[in-house]
Amino acid sequence: MSRGVLALDQGSHASRACLFDESGTLVATAAVPVATTRRGAAEVEQDADELVQSLRSAAAETLAQARAARPSLEVVAAGLAVQRSTIVCCAREDGRTLSPALSWQDHRNATWLATLAPQAARIRELTGLPLSAHYGASKLRWCLDHLPDVARAASTGSLLAAPLASYLALKLCAGDPRTARVDAANASRMLLLDSRQLAWSPELLALFGIDGAWLPSLAATRGDWGALALPGTGPALRAVTGDQSAVPWSEGPADPAVVYVNLGTGAFIQRPLLTRPEAPAPLLGSVLYRDDASAIYSLEGTVNGAGAAVSGFCGRHRCAEQPLWAALDTLDAGAALPVFVNGVGGLGSPWWRSTMESRFIDGTGNLLFDFAAVIESVAFMIAANAALLARQSGALQRVLLAGGMSRSQWLCRKLASLLEVPVQTSAAEASARGVARLAAPGIASQWPVEPTQQWEPQPDAALRARYQRFLDAVGS
């Protein structure tokens, strides 16, 4: 009998399930799309119950595929990776959902949060994060102030205000809401965690007007999270983390010599650290992993508009993405591309502006040229973050790309030239592979590292000139 590991990956656009066998081979996979509701630029939310059901459906389909193909396969563990900074409110007594899932992209409470600006330095000192409405605390504050069911539950002591990972783990395992838990990687994006003490901060709870009793208790990344409530015998959930936090484990233990870039709806740039970064500004000091004895941290940058910028462009122009991606490689190296000032979702690090008007500088009206400029803008923001990361943690040696946009060789070449180091692409399903390795380290230690493509940096003066114009335009 062979053994397998189930990985669940809940993202902005879809919930995925992947089943890997003892050799690391992807045996079966399924994806279920999920809807996102947008009201203007600031309000972005999802149906929390739909997210739960989508994961159940993806998991059930994947397990059915695997059992049909390999009847003797025993699924010994499962892991869950979840979009960070998204929150859900529910009732402690029965787990009834009281709010939408307010997305990490949501910044509806930015105006209220700005009133805390005098405390921004102290907040960053405790959490490693800037004062940003993309994180969970201001979303929770909005729910308390605007959703009567949430306010009523808070007043009666029956509120569970949870990072999405905690809510999903609870629902998928049919757990008791009174004993809800959350891992450190997801807790650290609430803007309420003292990342030095790895505990909810009484000072920050008081500042945001939040009762610590409303929050889930803190737990190690690996552990006994319960058994997945799925048809047949559900495997034990053995690891919970963030989707981005799982990526550094996709090839084995997180490596401080590697800079990991995950290109999804947003882009995330991170370097694992064995000690807590004490002065990460204007980057982020995040928690990647915690066990009972220690923690692994990261220095991180974030780009809000990566895949979201691409889908937004194609939505406005009513064009299909794939033909444009394919056409990028036909562009002449000397093509006079415009510069796109990418404010999709606001500017993340190192600028930290909740709103920014997106616009083209010298737009051509040529659909392919303008599409290329949108893609280059993502590369420019990654490069700006990577330069700061190198300044704070040492010269970059190797960059590993993951996520859907990493399939573009054109983008990989641009990044190699901008970063001036070799750029490699990881195997598909990096978040799923990472959380599977966390869930079953004994099995995954035998998995080979997938061969990668590599792009060497090439001089590109025109690209450099456009990068400088981008920096000037955003005020760097």
Dump pLDDT digits (tens) for 144-198. Answer: 999 999 999 999 999 999 999 999 999 999 999 999 999 999 999 999 999 999 9
Closest CA relative to residue 4, chosen from 34, 24, 32, 29? 24
Q: Per-residue pLDDT for 334 more than 90?
A: no
CATH architecture of 3-242: 2-Layer Sandwich (3.30)
Q: What pLDDT sits at residue 476?
A: 62
CA distance 51 to 165: 11
Domain parsing of the chain, residue ranges: 3-242, 251-426+446-476
Q: What pLDDT sits at residue 245?
A: 94
Dump pLDDT digits (tens) for 22-48. Answer: 999 999 999 999 999 999 889 999 999
Residue type at 300?
Answer: E
Dump pLDDT digits (tens) for 199-235. Answer: 999 999 999 999 999 999 999 999 999 999 987 778 9
Could you tell me the pLDDT band of residue 475, with boundaries at 50, 70 and 90? confident
CB atoms within 10 A of CB 191: 28
Q: Per-residue pLDDT for 333 more than 90?
A: no
Dump pLDDT digits (tens) for 294-328. Answer: 999 999 999 999 999 999 999 999 999 999 999 99
Question: Is it true that domain 251-426+446-476 has CATH number 3.30.70.20?
Answer: no
Fold agreement (3-242, 251-426+446-476): yes
Closest CA relative to residue 136, chosen from 176, 82, 172, 91? 82
Q: What pLDDT sits at residue 354?
A: 78
Q: What pLDDT sits at residue 355?
A: 80
Could you tell me the pLDDT band of residue 276, with boundaries at 50, 70 and 90? very high
Q: Per-residue pLDDT for 448 more than 90?
A: no
Q: In terms of pLDDT, which residue wins out, 101 or 232? A: 101
Please give the backbone phi and psi of residue 316, each rounded to the nearest 5 degrees, phi first: -65, -40
Q: Per-residue pLDDT for 383 more than 90?
A: yes
Q: What pLDDT sits at residue 451?
A: 65
- What is the percentage of the chain residues whose pLDDT exceeds 70? 99
The arithmetic mean of pLDDT across residues 367-379, rounded, is 96
Q: Per-residue pLDDT for 143 more than 70?
A: yes
Distances (CA, A) of 99 to 227, 345, 425, 449, 453: 25, 22, 38, 41, 43
Q: What pLDDT sits at residue 233?
A: 72
Question: Average pLDDT of the chain?
Answer: 94
The arithmetic mean of pLDDT across residues 407-422, rounded, is 95
Q: Per-residue pLDDT for 292 more than 90?
A: no
Distances (CA, A) of 163 to 166, 344, 475: 6, 24, 33
Closest CA relative to residue 81, chosen from 170, 17, 21, 34? 17
